[in-house]
């Protein structure tokens, strides 16, 4: 039986925590009509949510690969790189949403972008650590 999110403990793995926080924040921002009018959901907010979903899913996919062989490491690395690429796309979409939609406050955007940067830094650190760990495979 799973626990509600408010009862869950932090995982202790920064890339999982940072991407989860970003994903949740993105869902909350994009589904709030005070931030984005309903008529814009199909053209931009849906794409922002899809990008965040893919980024988070790729991080989870990468983390699920148990590395024993060079092929395992390549697969894990592929998902890590896809997550980074999706995070870059997500940041661009958030930036465009700020330019187009005046309902979003600059402070809110700054916080959202900071969450993106934290997630990116965590994923890059994860990749660097694994390069040192599995580089000899």
Give the tokens for residue 136.
């000899």
Inter-residue contact 23 to 52 (CB < 8 Å): yes
Helices first, then strands: H and E counts in the chain: 4, 0
Q: pLDDT digit string (tens) for 72-123?
A: 999 999 999 999 999 999 999 999 988 887 678 889 999 999 999 999 999 9
DSSP state, 4?
Answer: P
The CATH superfamily of 13-131 is 23S rRNA-intervening sequence (1.20.1440.60)
Domain range list for the chain: 13-131
Selection from 35, 33, 12 nearest residue 100 by Cα: 35
* pTM, to two decimals: 0.86
Q: Which two tokens stand for residue 68?
A: 């024993």
List pLDDT tens digits, range 2-45.
Answer: 555 544 554 558 999 999 999 999 999 999 888 888 877 778 89
């Amino acid at each position: 039986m799973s626990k509600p999110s408010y009862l869950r403990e932090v995982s202790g793995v920064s890339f999982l925590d940072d991407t989860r926080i970003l994903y949740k924040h993105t869902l909350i921002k994009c589904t709030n009509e005070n931030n984005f009018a309903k008529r814009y959901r199909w053209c931009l907010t849906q794409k922002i949510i899809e990008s965040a979903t893919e980024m988070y899913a790729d991080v989870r996919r990468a983390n699920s690969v148990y590395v024993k062989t060079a092929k395992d490491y390549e697969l894990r690395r592929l998902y890590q790189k896809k997550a980074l690429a999706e995070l870059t796309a997500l940041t661009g979409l958030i930036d465009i949403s700020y330019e187009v939609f005046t309902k979003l406050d600059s402070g809110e955007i700054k916080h959202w972008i900071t969450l993106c940067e934290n997630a990116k830094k965590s994923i890059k650190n994860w990749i660097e650590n694994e390069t040192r760990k599995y580089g000899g495979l």
